[in-house]
Chains A and B, each alone.
Chain A
Amino acid sequence: EAGVAQSPRYKIIEKRQSVAFWCNPISGHATLYWYQQILGQGPKLLIQFQNNGVVDDSQLPKDRFSAERLKGVDSTLKIQPAKLEDSAVYLCASSSWGRSGRAGNEQFFGPGTRLTVL
């Protein structure tokens, strides 16, 4: 079974530029998450999709960040314009919906995109 795919793996941009990240979840996984992970910290949830609908985007800085999940499969996260504090690893994860017998769902992660804003 193929894992979660992300691209690019690394990106260096200057502040005020825009950038986009792509994620392809595990086949059949209805739930997709985007996280931001600052160096030395735990992941912070930016947005959660269930199929192609948004479940939670309360921590997404909507003035500069946007995300979409067309057709309930691939997803794109965009930052426009980028700030220095956006330097982080952006992780995409997916999980199956309603896994019986287990409270909370295991999330499967992609390799992440390391963003550096200069």
Chain B
Amino acid sequence: AQKITQTQPGMFVQEKEAVTLDCTYDTSDQSYGLFWYKQPSSGEMIFLIYQGSYDEQNATEGRYSLNFQKARKSANLVISASQLGDSAMYFCAMGEESNYQLIWGAGTKLIIKP
């Protein structure tokens, strides 16, 4: 069965430091996609970054990068030079080619300290 695990319920990080949010997944499909979303206190889900299972390069989007280790089934989000506005819930999700649904992790609450 498909599953997403985020083992860090909460994290405190000093402003300007880099932070890594963990995500592991389980699937029997060969073709799948991994997504990271940010949810500020306002409640809206904001798409951050996508990694396809066949992508050879790790995805990057500005200050966000995805450390994709396929053999270990992990897709960690790295935020470089954290900012106060990065404080939010972060969700890892997985989509499979066979359907158009996302399987969601429980999320990590990130708090950036000034």
Question: Interface of A with B (CB < 8 Å)?
Answer: 31, 33, 40-45, 48, 50, 55-56, 89, 91, 93, 95, 97, 102-112, 114
Residues of B within 8 A of A109 (CB): 37, 44-46
User: A45, A89, A110: which contacts B101 (Cβ < 8 A)?
Assistant: A45
Docked-complex contact B107 and A111, CB < 8 angstroms: no
B74 contacts A by Cβ under 8 Å: no
User: B33, B44, B102: which contacts A102 (Cβ < 8 A)?
Assistant: B33
Listed by A's residue number, 24 A-B pairs whose Cβ atoms lie within 8 Å are A33-B101, A41-B107, A42-B93, A42-B105, A43-B45, A48-B100, A91-B43, A97-B100, A102-B33, A103-B31, A103-B32, A103-B33, A103-B95, A104-B35, A104-B100, A104-B102, A105-B100, A106-B50, A110-B44, A111-B42, A111-B43, A111-B44, A112-B43, A114-B43
Q: How many residues in B have their beta carbons less than 8 Å from beta carbons of A?
A: 30
Docked-complex contact A42 and B44, CB < 8 angstroms: no
Docked-complex contact B101 and A106, CB < 8 angstroms: no
B48 CB → nearest A CB, Å: 10
User: B42, B54, B94, B104: which contacts A43 (Cβ < 8 A)?
Assistant: B104
**In the complex, A41 Cα to B54 Cα: how many Å?**
29
Docked-complex contact B52 and A107, CB < 8 angstroms: no
- Given A41-B107, A42-B104, A95-B100, A103 contacting B44 (CB threshold 8 A): no
User: B42, B43, B91, B97: which contacts A104 (Cβ < 8 A)?
Assistant: B97
User: B35, B94, B105: which contacts A106 (Cβ < 8 A)?
Assistant: B35
Residues of B within 8 A of A114 (CB): 43
Docked-complex contact B96 and A103, CB < 8 angstroms: yes
B106 contacts A by Cβ under 8 Å: yes
A51 CB → nearest B CB, Å: 12
- The residue of chain B having its C-beta at the shortest distance from the C-beta of A113 within the complex is B43
B53 contacts A by Cβ under 8 Å: yes
Docked-complex contact A48 and B35, CB < 8 angstroms: no
B47 contacts A by Cβ under 8 Å: yes
**In the complex, A56 Cα to B102 Cα: how many Å?**
12
